[in-house]
Each structure stands twice: as C-alpha cells, then as structure tokens.
Structure 1
C-alpha cells in the first residue's frame, strides 16, 4: 500500500494540481488537509472520475480534512478529535481502510506566539496525545498522517536560528511531538532518511522553493505493526513547482503486506 499526505491549501483552487499528482503518483490512500471548502463544495465527482472514493470533513474558507482511497471502502470511525466538544474546527478525520486505521489531521499553526492561538495549539496537541495513546492501546495497525505544523528537529528546517520564536518550532511543540514518538509511533520518513534534509513546505515568497528554503512539517506516524511493514518513504517535490500549486509537497510511504523481521520498535 502506498499512503500519502498532501496539504492542498484549497482543494477547489488547486484541484487540477491534485488530479495531476494523483494520476502521476497513483497513491492508494491519501490524506488531504486545508481543504478550505464547505462539505457541499467538495469535488467528489472529479475525484471519483480519477479513481478515488472520498470521505471529508470540511469547513468553509478554513481548515478541512479528507481521506481518499482507491483500494477499498472508507469506513469513517471519527470526525473531530475527542476531548473538547466546543472545538468546531474541522481538523481530524479517522477511518478504517483496507485493514488499517488512518487518522488524517491538520494540527493548528499556533502563531502568533504567545497568544490564544498558541494556547489552542498546545491544547489540541495534548488531546492528540491522549487519543494517540488510546489507539496504541487497542493494538491496531494505525497511521497518523497529515500536517502537524511542527519541525521536530533542526534538521527539519532550513535555518533553525530564524525560527526559534515561531509556533512551529517552539520547544513546547517539539516536546509534544517527541512525546508522540515516545508512545511508540515511528516517524516514517525520518526512520528511512535519518540524516537527510527533507522538506515538505516552502513559502510562496522570496523564491523559497527555488532556494530550497523549506520546512518538514507534514508527517506520517506509524504504530509498531505498520512500522514493521515500512519499506519506502519520500517526498514528491515536483508538484510544488507546478503552476497555481500548494505551498506544500506530498509526502508518501510504502508498506508491505507482511511485516519484515527486525523493524518493530
């Protein structure tokens, strides 16, 4: 199975880019973030014509997440992250697909820091930690996939010294991400590329993509069972250079059907 994540930064505005990438890369399951679309404007028919069924959790103008599949039905198990019934942001969608649980997430940006947006980010991360632990406790094959809005280490940002005060690089946020890994999750891309500077996001301005001034903020975290099946991981950089595109690039992994010995954490 090829599993991918892509922050499309507006699914209708960048639909042609998404469809082109789906046709070229052919992932089996895709998690999308930042749809910026109400549920009734989600382009279900265009995606179906491309060979994908979809489940989505939209929000007009902001946020929004979706899961696409071309390898089996999508059985939605959760809309919204538990822990705060008053949180109306569309940032989490969870489903069972082809024998695994996929949690698609769009973690809050948190800027400016300090402030209420940063406080919300930390609270959302705390709720994610609680839910993630519960998923592991059930001993199911699970992937937590999406835009985490965090650069875990200095290796994940082109100029660490310029980002020390940013909410994506704050010590509290990096510690929360480290706490996720400590639960038993595997950062799939980093596991297979431990020493490489790999980015998934480049700002639109100051020629950031051409200068490769990027950040790695889109991640695929695997439970121990799935980590044992991990064979490949990478970033599709090309779509970031296409016309009228997102400021993110898709990240992807490939999983074997059967676990390989010695890869369990």
Structure 2
C-alpha cells in the first residue's frame, strides 16, 4: 500500500499537478492540505474519473484538508471534537483493507507566525487538543496513520540552518515538545525511522531561491503506529512536483507498507 501527504497550497491552482502526480505515482491514499477552497468547489468529478473516492473539509481562501482514497471512507470526522475552531484543519476516516481497518488522519497544523504572536499560542493550544483527541482515537483504532503539514521540524537535521532559525517558529522548543508528545502516544516519525541520517526537506520558501539553494525544512510528516512502521518498506520525499511550473512550496512525502 502506498500513502502520500502533500500540502498543495491551493487545489484550484494545482489540480492539474495533483492529477498528473496521481496518474504517475498511483497512490492508494493521498492526503492534501491547504486546499483553500469550499467543499462545493472540491473537484470530486476529476478525482472520481481517476478511480478514487474523496472527502474534503474546506473553507474559502485558507486551510482545507482532504483524503483521496482507492478505498471507501467511513466514520468521517471533521475538526477536533470539543474544540471550537472555525479553521478547517483536520479530517479523518477509516478504510477497510485486506489486513483490517486503518484509521487515516489528515492534519494541517497552524503555522504560528512568530513565537511572540497570538497565532503561536493558538498553534500550541491546537496541538494540545489534537493530542488529547488522538490519544482516544488510538484506543479505538490500533492501526492508525496521521499525516500532513505539521509546521514543525522535529530535529536540527530537519532544518537547513538550525542556528539561524533558533527559537523561531517551526523549530521552537515548545513546538518540538508538542510534536514529541504526539510521538509518545505510541507513534513513529516514519521517514526518520527508515532514513535515520538523511538530510532531506519537504518545504522550501518561495523567497530567496529557497528550492534552488535547498534552504528547506522537513515539516510534512507521516506518523504510524508500530504495526505499520514495522511493515514499511519505503519512506521518501518526492521532490519532482516542486520543480514544476507554479509549484506548491511543499512536495509529497510518501510511504509504502
């Protein structure tokens, strides 16, 4: 089975790139973030034409998450329960496979803007409530995959210049601590398990020729429980879409298991 996560930074702009990537890569599941479109605008017909099911939790201009799947999607959950938030940042569903049920969770964690901003406190609060909800999900669904744009580089190896970024958003101690609390629920950062010393990134700023100069961060992650981690045969970052004309500033992260 192949699963990928990709922050597309506007599905309206990049639907053609998504269609091309699906045709080329043939994922069983593709999780999208920052679709930036209302549910009524989601391209269900285009996705269905490729042979996939899709669910979407979106809003105009900002945020938005989707799960595209070869499998039918059940037990759909939009947003974090008991956490009042107008921003569309989470969608979850269950798939039935030959190996049993797997819970799929797609997240777009807040960026945080800067460590002295209200948006940073919102990010930490969002992560706190997400972790509490996820703990309960893992009781109900032993096999679970959480994937998306976490807006956190967990270690210095995941940042092109740790000293320059020190104490800034994406790498601040509180964000990394929040990420570790998610891992401590019984999950693994799949890419880092399979590639313990690889220096690769999933996001590059549009400014300062960030991609050409490889000034990147690994902030898009696929977290898996032990059963799925042990069965993982490949975990890669596909940089090809980032080379496209008018690309997203992120690129797909892919696992096979």
Residues 58-67 or 216-225, more deviating = 216-225
1:139 Cα deviation after fit: 5.0
Aligned partner of 1:96 in structure 2 is 94
Structure 1, residues 27-56: CA drift from partner, whole Å, max 9, x if none? Answer: 110110001001111111111112221000
Structure 1, residues 150-186: CA drift from partner, whole Å, max 9, x if none? Answer: 0000000101112123221110000111111122101
Match of 1:209, SS?
coil
8 A contact 1:79–1:92 mirrored in 2: yes
The alignment of Structure 1 onto Structure 2 pairs a total of residues equal to 253
Match of 1:125, SS?
helix
The answer to whether residue 173 in structure 2 is matched with residue 175 in structure 1 is no
Partners of 1:2 and 1:185 lie apart in 2 by 18
Match of 1:95, SS?
strand
Partners of 2:181 and 2:82 lie apart in 1 by 18
Partners of 1:61 and 1:30 lie apart in 2 by 21
Aligned partner of 2:80 in structure 1 is 81
TM-score, normalised with respect to structure 2:
0.95
Unaligned stretches of 5+ residues in structure 2? none
More helix by percentage: 2
Unaligned stretches of 5+ residues in structure 1? 256-265
8 A contact 2:57–2:64 mirrored in 1: yes
Partners of 2:130 and 2:200 lie apart in 1 by 25
Structure 1, residues 47-88: CA drift from partner, whole Å, max 9, x if none? Answer: 111222100001100000000012x2011431101231x211
1:132 Cα deviation after fit: 1.9
8 A contact 2:33–2:107 mirrored in 1: yes
Q: Kindly report structure 1 stretches of 4+ aligned residues shifted beyond 3 Å.
A: none
Match of 1:24, SS?
helix
8 A contact 1:17–1:244 mirrored in 2: no
Match of 2:207, SS?
coil
